[in-house]
Amino acid sequence: EKISEEHQSKENLLAENQILKKQKAELIVGFKKQLKLIDILKRQKMHFEAAKMLSFTQEEFMKALDLGKP
């Protein structure tokens, strides 16, 4: 009977270990997806700031053209 209990305990621990390994793998996948999203957001922010700077430059250029008209 004691051997049976130990065997059952070992099986429970192995099953729990497998569940924990699966959860760990899911967490790693989740973290990698988050890192990709962070990278995409950083790129979007950079493009937005560049577009804003180009807009200012374009406005200044248009003003310079208007000032140059007789």
Provide the residue-wise pLDDT of the chain in tens; the chain has 70 residues: 788 999 999 999 999 999 999 999 999 999 999 999 999 999 999 999 999 888 878 888 888 888 766 6
DSSP state of 42: H
Distance of CA 1 to the CA centre of its chain: 52
Task: Give the sign of the dihedral formed by CA 2, CA 5, CA 7, CA 10.
Answer: negative
Question: Which pTM value belongs to this model?
Answer: 0.62
- The residue written with tokens 């621990």 in the block is 13
The pLDDT assigned to 69 comes to 66
> How far apart (Å, rounded) are the C-alpha atoms in residues 70 and 61?
17
